[in-house]
Structure formats: structure tokens, C-alpha cells
Amino acid sequence: MPLGELVDFLARRKVTGSLTCERGTVRKTVFLRDGAAVGAASTDPREFLGQLLINFGHLDEEQLGKAFRTQQETKVRLGKVLAMVGLVSPETVRDVLGIKIRETLLDVFRWDSGVFRVDEEPPPADDDGLSLAVPLAEILREAEFRTTAWDAFKSQFPSGAATLVVDEERIPPTAREGTVDGRLLFHATQGKSVDEIGLALHATEFHLYQRLYALARQGVIRAAAAPAGSPDAPAEMLEAAELVDRSRQLLLEGKSEEAEQAAARALALAPGAEAARQALSAAREAVAAPLRELISQRRVPVLRLSASEIGLLRLDAAEKYLLSRCDGRRDLVQIAQVAPLDELQVLKAFRRFVDAGVVELRSA
């Protein structure tokens, strides 16, 4: 059943329960009451409440880090903590929670494969006074609009690896310092790629490309030619079951990262295969286990190379973002908490940095 038809069915039947969508390691759940979305959970860090609040300029990374520490002490949900300590008003938290709900489901409409499951267990009760309801019919209309919008966005910015050319004479007065557009243009003038700007702004893909497109329509920016690079290696033509077997064998041989890659390819080929999902979970756990020591020891990453030396390294957007957060003060826990990246991705990157002599981990 196509996702659009499923969402329409849930809206018309005024279903209470939850809709869970999975693809690879990404899992999104939208909680429903009487055909409206009343909450959402996602393993995609870009859709976390804290990341969205940073993106829209309501918080900075330092404030989010402090809020996380308060949350750990009080065991209260992040939105209530932020409102309680006065960092963000309850109205703003509620508005951004509405955006979180929409973005969690709207992103799924762009998937080319996935598994969808409906559960009729009632959603958890609201106990923090931040309740809201977003009709599924509204989200469905927005999904239809975004299909056309994405075609327009990608016609202007086909590659996230491209940098941007800024016409400073055309920058509007509204793009002042501290605004989303102002921050976007600042990073663009620093030579950052589209993907790097997205990480720096803690932005979801749609909100990033929406702003890029609006600025392009005003003649403020355009995409530079994407850097030349080697083409992606063709995927191995193996069946999902063969890849699962290979993943299990690699895991037995102690090659956990190779096992993770094989299982991830298997799950991409067969999104509903439970064997592939279990193989990926086992491989990721094997990769994560030795890295958790880095988190438990609260080690502080310190750069061992100068900025010019780091500039010569071949780094992707995520790696550049993480190195920019190594200020000698924040430990790995604090960096992982506020980064718009999966925790395992953060830990794997820092292990590479340490092995390559780029970063040294010191005791806090």
C-alpha cells in the first residue's frame, strides 16, 4: 500500500495508535489520536527537537548542552526543561514540536523503499502541558506540494557537494547576522558545501534547500560546479540473503565494520527482511561496543594539527563539522549530544581521527 494512500486511510478512519516507518537504521514513529498526529519519534538526529530549535535560532549549541545536563538530572522531557528554565517559551516549544511531527513523516514520502507498520496501541498521555494535534490530511497535502518543490530545488542544487557563489551586492537587508539566511550566507562565503552548511545550521534537508532556493530566486546565490571525484563504486550484485550470510561470517572473523556494510546493503535490497535487520543490529552493536569506552570516560578531543594542515585532508561534511567542535572544552558526550549526527557515526569518526593522528583524546 503506497504511503500516501495509507496516510489518507488513517486520516479518514480517524485512527488512534501509531504509524512506524523503517528504512535501514532509520526508524520514525508518528503517534496518532483520532486521525491526527500528536507526537513523533525519530532516530534521524536532524529531526530531534533540540536540533530544530537550533536551526530556527531559538537555541545555540551551548544552551542545548546545558539543557541536556538538566534533563539528565531531572529526568524531565527536553521541551519541558527548556520551557521550565526559560530558555524557550512554551509556545515556541509547541510550534517546533509541530514542525518536528510534520518533518518526521514528510521525509518518509521521499523514500524509495521502506517498511510501514500501524499499531493501535494508544499514544502516551501528555504530561508536560505541550500537547498539540496535526491533522494527517494537512501533512498529506504538504507532501503533495513538496514533490513539486523538490524537483525545483534539485534543478538548482543537484549536488550537496557543491559550494555556493554569493553575489554580496544582492544580499537582502532581511538576511542580517543571526538570522537563518544570514548564517547560511556566512557559511557559504566561507567556502562550505551545501552538505556542510546543513550540518552547521542543524537543518533538515527540506528547510535547507527551501532557503537555498529562495535565495537563488533572488539572485543572491548559485551553485558552483561540484568538485570532481571518483564515481561511486558499483554495488555488488548479490542477493540480500547472500549479504546477510556474508555479514554474519565477517562478524565471526572480527571484521565488524565490513559486516555492518554488508548487512546495510542487504537491508537496502530487502527492507522487510528481519534477518537483514538482525544482522545489521548485531554488526552495529559489535562496532559500538569498543567505542562506548570513549563516551564513558568523558574524554576531551584536542586537535593535533593546525587549521591549514586540516584543510589539506580529504574530509566529508560530517568530519569537518566534528573537527570544528574540538575546542578543548567539550568532551565527546557533549559533542555527540548536540551534533546533528548519529552517535555511532560520531564515535567512528573520532576513532578515525585518533588513528590518523588528527585528534588526541585527553582526560576531562
Q: What DSSP assignment string belongs to 188-205?
A: HHTT-BHHHHHHHHT--H
Q: What's at 308, amino acid-wise?
A: S
Average pLDDT over residues 239-259: 92
17-23 and 26-33: which strand pairing?
antiparallel
**Of 340, 97, 46, residue with least CA distance to 207:** 46
Render pLDDT for 49-91 as a digit per residue (tens, 0 to 9). 999 999 998 999 999 998 988 888 888 888 889 988 889 999 9
For residues 319 and 295, is the Cβ–Cβ distance under 8 A?
no
pLDDT above 70: percentage of residues in the chain? 96
Strands (E), the chain: 17-23, 26-33, 36-42, 115-119, 134-135, 164-166, 221-223, 300-303, 359-362
Q: Phi and psi of 324, rounded to 5°? A: -70, -15
Task: Please tell me the pTM assigned to this model.
Answer: 0.81
Render pLDDT for 209-233 as a digit per residue (tens, 0 to 9). 999 999 999 999 999 975 555 444 3
Model pLDDT, residue 299: 87
> Whole-angstrom Cα distance, residue 243 to residue 246?
5
Render pLDDT for 142-187 as a digit per residue (tens, 0 to 9). 999 999 999 999 999 998 999 999 999 999 998 888 888 999 999 9
